[in-house]
Chain A
């Protein structure tokens, strides 16, 4: 048995990790060898878990109409071509599920499907004081929340390069997000 009670050597380890430039996954994809004295209880050859990923023939083309529709539904603006092109990846991932025969299978919406959904009796409860309910609203008038004028459709304001979006797989360059500066809440 070779699992040893030991404190991880911090310095040694950090040097080893950085110098070898591995990502903590040495030997991935290769045939495995058990530790000395152990018998093989897990298959030594890796299982192929990758799913055939095809770009569907009807991959959506993004036009201004679809972009505006998604912004209105999400109430979030696309900030770059990459943000729209990400949806191509979503379609590709979702498309993996088409390999599976789901004929006659019922959708599973929740873990406890058989459990009756409880409802409250229609009895008035002692609510929170109004001041507590409203205290997180930045703008209010007497005991009301305040909103700007309604019924104005959201206008799309960022002109994006549609050609770049639709050719992202060949022309796009993904930029990985960066971390922010460390801080705490003010109290």
Chain B
């Protein structure tokens, strides 16, 4: 109970950081009592606001769903609660999880708690699950539920010095989660905890057609004999000196502890951003078609015709980024472009997947940076017209296209901001990814903030 009260206190203290869209303190207290009665240990969690929670607002950080209250709870949240999770609040993120900075949502920006934030400028927490990552870093929660379509969990985990785990696509149910390419994911303070919470939630569910069994893969008990692949394409022209040094240093550590380091090449990596861009915009166009303001969502006063009302609702209540993707998706689906661009992107997706599968047949894990550098300031991000977002996606998108598990491990060097190193493994080798990350954690000097 004390742990829950302490988390609530932190939530109040960090209000200016925009971490929570809805505070659910009374719910957390009730859940804590229930957990204690069941002989469980209550633990504080925050839930990204794109997961449905019965009887509490679920906004997707959008004006469209500002007053939407779902009549059901998403599957993974239900499973967490049944294990003693106490929900402190719903976490802020990029609107409909589209973005890598948590800046442009309807409820204002999330600001990193690693530095003092001002009204005008702040350290960007990354995204889209920025609120989830800052919540764990600042101590509002032991675990945060996040989601990851192209890096949305690993990127903010890297920027805030916490662990971000995107499991194999399908091993966590998407029932009650807003987008179809999204994977429910975990932010926590260690790889062991990531695995623990994953086990709380995994399992094949009938309500999600892409849900799949997670195999009981045992992993490897030590680093000795582990074959680690190093794809040279991940040292691209955007990677910082620090990022490279930490990456190289972590590999040195693995080698000293008996791992075999092997250079690999993944030439399609450089096309993954374009491939991802085409596939997700098309997915967005289709996914977002449901928001019309009739059964739920923002309903404007425009009543002249159904279409005029739909257009008014969507044009007013969705932000620039979301509208841009809806239009781009419909554009790419025009008869004249569909085959030329969309179908081609789906073929390139297979090439990217095959290339990763082949590499992961020859090595146990791939180790890369999670982002091109440390977190930028908001002023710098905006000055670059948010181009930094796309440049960081380069490091994370391929794992989503292939559906493989990937986890970001935080490293902090003297006086600098955290840097994330990413460990990727073959599909359903989630345990291997977590175990190796845990080993990396114990053999390298590593600071996780609390």
Contact = CB atoms under 8 A, between A and B. Distances in A.
Contacts of A122: none
A24 B307 contact: no
A124 interface: no
Q: How large is the interface on A (under 10, 10 to 19, 20 to 34, 35 or more residues)?
A: 35 or more
Q: How large is the interface on B (under 10, 10 to 19, 20 to 34, 35 or more residues)?
A: 35 or more
Interface stretch (B1-9, B108-116, B139-147): B108-116
Interface in A131-187: 132-133, 135-139, 145-155, 174, 176-185, 187
Contacts of B306: 147-152
A129 B21 CA distance: 28
B176 interface: no
A180 B232 contact: no
Given A24-B376, A184-B107, A51 B274 contact: yes
Contacts of A109: 346
Contacts of B293: 138
Given A7-B449, A38-B248, A75 B307 contact: yes
Nearest to A146: B294
A90 B378 CA distance: 25
Contact of A187 (B57, B321, B375): B57
Contacts of A54: none
Given A29-B237, A94-B341, A76 B271 contact: no
B370 to A, nearest CB: 13
A94 B274 contact: yes
A23 B384 contact: yes
A8 B351 contact: no
B380 A97 contact: no
A123 interface: no
A151 to B, nearest CB: 8
B247 A8 contact: no
Nearest to B372: A25
A23 B373 contact: yes
Contacts of A35: 245, 248-249
B247 A148 contact: no
A46 B161 CA distance: 25
B418 interface: yes
Nearest to B107: A183
Contacts of B449: 7-8
B105 A180 contact: yes
Given A50-B237, A76-B315, A97-B278, A40 B417 contact: no
Contact of B323 (A76, A111, A184): A76
Interface in A27-51: 27-30, 32-35, 38-43, 45-51
Given A47-B233, A184-B20, A10 B346 contact: no
B388 to A, nearest CB: 6
A79 B385 CA distance: 18
Contact of B330 (A38, A49, A73): A73
Given A112-B403, A185-B22, 19 more contacts: A3-B246, A12-B415, A17-B123, A25-B243, A25-B372, A35-B249, A38-B249, A41-B261, A47-B236, A49-B236, A49-B269, A51-B270, A86-B324, A90-B328, A136-B297, A176-B386, A177-B319, A179-B108, A180-B107
Interface of A: 1-14, 16-18, 21, 23-30, 32-35, 38-43, 45-51, 69-79, 83, 86-87, 90-91, 93-100, 102, 105-112, 115, 117-118, 120, 128, 132-133, 135-139, 145-155, 174, 176-185, 187
